[in-house]
Chain A
Amino acid sequence: MNGPFDFTLALADDALIAAQRLAEWTTRAPEMEEDIALANIALDQLGAARLLLSYAGELEGAGRDEDALAYLRDDREFRNALVVELPNDDFAATMAKLFFLAAYQLPLYTALAGCADERLAAIGAKARKESAYHLDHGALWVKRLGDGTEESHRRMQAAVDQVWPYTHELFAADPAAPVDPATVRPAFDEVVGPVLAEATLTQPDSAWAPAGGRAGVHTEHLAYLLAEMQVLHRAHPGAKW
Chain B
Amino acid sequence: MYGNDFSAPDGATDEAPGGLLGEVEAAEAELRAAAARGRRGGPAPDEDLAAYFAEVVDAEQKIEPRDWMPDAYRRTLIRQIAQHAHSEIIGMQPEGNWISRAPSLKRKAILLAKVQDEAGHGLYLYAAAETLGISRDELVQLLLDGRQKYSSIFNYPTLSWADVGAIGWLVDGAAIVNQVPLCRCSYGPYARAMIRVCKEESFHQRQGYEILHTLAHGTPAQQAMAQDAVDRWWYPSLAMFGPPDGDSTHSAQSMAWKIKRFSNDDLRQRFVDMCVQQAEILGLRIPDADLRWNDERQAYDYTQPDYDELMQVISGNGPCNRERMAHRRAAHADGTWVREAAAAYAAKRAGQKETVAA
Contact of A43 with B113 in the complex, beta carbons under 8 Å:
yes
Contact of A46 with B161 in the complex, beta carbons under 8 Å:
no
Q: A46-B105, A147-B348, A241-B107 are in contact. Are A27 and B331 (CB under 8 A)?
A: yes
Which residues of the partner chain A approach B102 to less than 8 Å between Cβ atoms?
Answer: 232
A24 within 8 A of B: yes
Q: A240-B218, A241-B214 are in contact. Are A29 and B335 (CB under 8 A)?
A: yes
Tell me the bound Cα distance from A74 to B247 in angstroms.
57
Q: A27-B93, A28-B331, A239-B219 are in contact. Are A149 and B340 (CB under 8 A)?
A: yes
Contact of A229 with B100 in the complex, beta carbons under 8 Å:
yes
The residue among B89, B107, B122, B331 with the most chain A CB atoms within 10 A of its own CB is B331
Which residues of the partner chain B approach A240 to less than 8 Å between Cβ atoms?
Answer: 214, 218
Which residues of the partner chain A approach B161 to less than 8 Å between Cβ atoms?
Answer: 232, 241
A197 within 8 A of B: no
B109 within 8 A of A: yes
Contact of B101 with A231 in the complex, beta carbons under 8 Å:
yes
A20 within 8 A of B: yes
Which residues of the partner chain B approach A70 to less than 8 Å between Cβ atoms?
Answer: 105
Which residues of the partner chain B approach A27 to less than 8 Å between Cβ atoms?
Answer: 92-93, 96, 115, 327-328, 331
Contact of B115 with A39 in the complex, beta carbons under 8 Å:
yes
Q: A29-B331, A30-B334, A152-B337 are in contact. Are A232 and B103 (CB under 8 A)?
A: yes
B104 within 8 A of A: yes
B255 within 8 A of A: no
Interface string of B229-247 (1 = CB under 8 A from A): 0000000000000000000
Contact of B103 with A46 in the complex, beta carbons under 8 Å:
no
Contact of B339 with A26 in the complex, beta carbons under 8 Å:
no
Which residues of the partner chain A approach B113 to less than 8 Å between Cβ atoms?
Answer: 39, 43
A160 within 8 A of B: no
A67 within 8 A of B: yes
Interface string of B277-292 (1 = CB under 8 A from A): 0000000000000000
A36 within 8 A of B: yes
Tell me the bound Cα distance from A24 to B34 in angstroms.
45
Q: A43-B113, A148-B342, A239-B218 are in contact. Are A30 and B335 (CB under 8 A)?
A: yes
The residue among A32, A70, A239 with the most chain B CB atoms within 10 A of its own CB is A32
B99 within 8 A of A: yes
Tell me the bound Cα distance from A175 to B100 in angstroms.
35
Tell me the bound Cα distance from A152 to B112 in angstroms.
29
Interface string of A31-54 (1 = CB under 8 A from B): 111111001101100110110010
Tell me the bound Cα distance from A35 to B339 in angstroms.
13
Q: Shortest beta-carbon distance, B352 to chain A, in Å?
A: 11
Contact of B101 with A229 in the complex, beta carbons under 8 Å:
yes
Tell me the bound Cα distance from A31 to B103 in angstroms.
29
Tell me the bound Cα distance from A236 to B160 in angstroms.
13
Partner of B344, one of A31, A53, A149: A149
Contact of B345 with A40 in the complex, beta carbons under 8 Å:
no
Q: A28-B334, A36-B120, A67-B104 are in contact. Are A143 and B345 (CB under 8 A)?
A: yes
Tell me the bound Cα distance from A238 to B330 in angstroms.
39
B residues near A, CB below 8 A?
A: 89, 92-93, 96, 99-109, 112-113, 115-116, 119-120, 122-123, 161, 214, 218-219, 221-222, 327-328, 330-331, 334-342, 344-345, 348
Given A32-B123, A39-B112, A241-B214, 19 additional A-B pairs, CB 8 A = A23-B100, A27-B327, A30-B335, A30-B336, A30-B339, A31-B339, A32-B122, A34-B335, A36-B119, A39-B119, A50-B106, A53-B105, A71-B103, A91-B335, A145-B341, A229-B101, A232-B103, A233-B104, A241-B218
Q: List 25 A-B contacts (CB under 8 A).
A: A16-B105, A26-B96, A27-B96, A27-B328, A28-B327, A28-B330, A28-B331, A29-B335, A30-B339, A31-B342, A32-B89, A39-B112, A39-B115, A43-B112, A47-B109, A67-B104, A91-B334, A91-B338, A148-B340, A148-B341, A148-B345, A152-B340, A232-B103, A239-B222, A241-B106
